């Protein structure tokens, strides 16, 4: 049971973010109203996604030097987990947009950048499936993964900041960093991010076990 404490920490941090996220004090803002609390849940998904993709590209780079099948599996599973987080982030964002902006989708740079990023990662999985040879697949998809990660940073980290955007935190729209109570919100938001990242790593660990098991059964 050693080295399991971080799984308990993940669960505790997320439960803390649910309780404090609903009951804690938040700034009163027009238009946002109580949806400001989405920061704890919706934005956490994106931070977790970026962490998963970061882990994925790290294992891809390691794989390019050590050529181990397990490293390549880690890269794939982290990218898959990141995609799950991004789908959850997109759906929760769309629901919020419907009730804040009046439409599920707007041609906002942040939203379109996210959609392009997801398509880039879909292409990563299609590329993997189209290559039969495991070593070739690991190397080619590893190189593509580096390219995908850089594009993700450009599309969701840089481009939305260069133009005007409706999204909170962009184009002069307020986000939590500009609020008086930002300190209180950070005390919930950062634990939530850490909790969801650890939760994602936990799921990846289990999926890696399943992947190695199926490699034994189906060589």
Partner 1 sequence: MTLHRAKPLTWVLALLFSTALHAQTETPMADAMRNNGKIYVVVAVLVIIFIGISVYLVQLDVKTAKLKRQIEEMKK
Distance CA 55, CA 75 (A): 7
Nearest residue (CB) to partner 1, 33 versus 163:
33
Give Cα separations from 90 to 3, 57, 66, 125, 176 (angstroms): 33, 22, 35, 19, 20
Nearest residue (CB) to partner 1, 15 versus 31:
15
Task: Please give, one letter per residue, the 3-state secondary structure of 48-62.
Answer: HHHHHHHHHHHHHHH
List all residues 6 or more positions away from 157 whose beta carbon is below 8 Å from its beta carbon: none
Give yes or no for a contact between 152 and 89, defined as CB atoms under 8 angstroms apart.
Answer: no
Nearest residue (CB) to partner 1, 109 versus 200:
200
Report the chain's C-alpha Rg in angstroms: 19
Least distance CB 213 / partner 1 (angstroms): 6
Least distance CB 113 / partner 1 (angstroms): 30
Least distance CB 16 / partner 1 (angstroms): 10
Nearest residue (CB) to partner 1, 16 versus 144:
16
Distance CA 145, CA 125 (A): 10
Distance CA 96, CA 168 (A): 12
Nearest residue (CB) to partner 1, 124 versus 199:
199
Distance CA 207, CA 2 (A): 20
Residues found in the chain: 219
Give Cα separations from 125 to 58, 78, 142, 151, 213 (angstroms): 17, 12, 11, 16, 21
Least distance CB 109 / partner 1 (angstroms): 32
Least distance CB 114 / partner 1 (angstroms): 25
Nearest residue (CB) to partner 1, 183 versus 216:
216
Least distance CB 181 / partner 1 (angstroms): 18
Report the interface residues with partner 1, using CB under 8 A.
7, 11, 14-15, 18-19, 22-23, 202-203, 205-206, 209-210, 212-213, 216
């Amino acid at each position: 049971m050693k080295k399991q404490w971080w799984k308990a920490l993940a669960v505790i941090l997320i439960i803390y973010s649910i309780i404090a996220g609903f009951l804690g004090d938040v700034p009163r803002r027009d238009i946002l109203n109580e949806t400001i609390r989405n920061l704890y849940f919706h934005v956490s998904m994106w931070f977790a996604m970026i962490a998963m993709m970061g882990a994925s590209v790290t294992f891809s780079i390691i794989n390019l030097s050590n050529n181990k099948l397990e490293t390549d599996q880690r890269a794939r599973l982290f990218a898959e987990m990141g995609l799950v987080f991004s789908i959850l982030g997109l759906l929760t964002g769309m629901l919020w947009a419907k009730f804040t902006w009046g439409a599920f989708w707007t041609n906002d740079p942040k939203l379109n950048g996210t959609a392009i990023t997801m398509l880039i990662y879909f292409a990563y999985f299609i590329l993997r499936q189209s290559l039969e040879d495991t070593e070739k697949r690991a190397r080619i998809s590893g190189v593509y993964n580096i390219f995908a990660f850089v594009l993700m940073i450009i599309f969701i980290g840089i481009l939305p900041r260069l133009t005007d955007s409706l999204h909170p935190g962009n184009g002069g729209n307020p986000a939590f960093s500009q609020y008086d109570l930002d300190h209180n919100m950070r005390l919930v938001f950062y634990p939530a991010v850490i909790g969801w990242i650890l939760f994602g790593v936990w799921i990846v660990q289990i999926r890696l076990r399943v992947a190695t098991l199926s490699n034994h059964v189906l060589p």
